Structure 1
Amino acid sequence: MDIKEKIRNFIESNLIVFEDEAVFTDDDNIFQMGFVNSLFAMKLLGYIEQEFGITVANEDLDIANFSTLNSIVRLIGKHKQEV
């Protein structure tokens, strides 16, 4: 399973809406759409750091880096290149 699939599965398993209502593209803002909340952001951060063996730097703790599937994948890619 690639990075994007892992992240999508994690997001889908933590939705706060009914699954049949939660259709989102790789560039949809999952927070603005109401699929997840701010508490999920902390859970997502923990998952990313543990699953991918990275530490997200303070300067990257911007909601924009966690709001879409593509932005999350870019963030992970950036940190994996730094390792």
Structure 2
Amino acid sequence: MSRIEIVERLKQYFITEVLDGKDIGLDESTPLLEWGVINSLEIVRLLGFIQQQFGVEVPADDITAEYFSSLLSITDLILMHEKAARP
């Protein structure tokens, strides 16, 4: 899956599941933590979505503000673990 496709899936997830259908102008660099879009409870839900949609389990060591700061950083996290899981 391409980087653009992952960003778009994540954006749609946030709009439908977190923002109750409101598109507040999210883009790949929107500061999710600063804008209050994501919090610790939402991270737990997001991890389930990532596992279901992308087949990626994020290790506890990578559950940091750095990796969940924007759609792009989450995408990078997914791609990093997706590549590591490939034989």
Q: Which amino acid aligns with 1:9?
A: Q
Supply the distance in 2 between the matched residues of 1:40 and 1:54 (Cα, whole angstroms). 17
Aligned to 1:60: 62
Alignment equivalent of 2:11, drawn from 8, 12, 23: 8
Supply the distance in 2 between the matched residues of 1:16 and 1:71 (Cα, whole angstroms). 19
TM-score (norm 1): 0.82
Q: Tell me, what secondary structure is at the counterpart of 2:34?
A: coil
Gap change, CA 1:60 and 1:36, over 3 Å in 2: closer
How many residue pairs align between the two structures?
82
Give the superposition deviation at 1:40: 1.0
Bigger drift between 69-78 and 48-57 goes to 48-57
TM-score (norm 2): 0.79
Q: Where does the alignment leave 5 or more consecutive residues of structure 2 unmatched?
A: none
Supply the distance in 2 between the matched residues of 1:53 and 1:17 (Cα, whole angstroms). 25
Q: CA RMSD for the aligned pairs?
A: 2.0
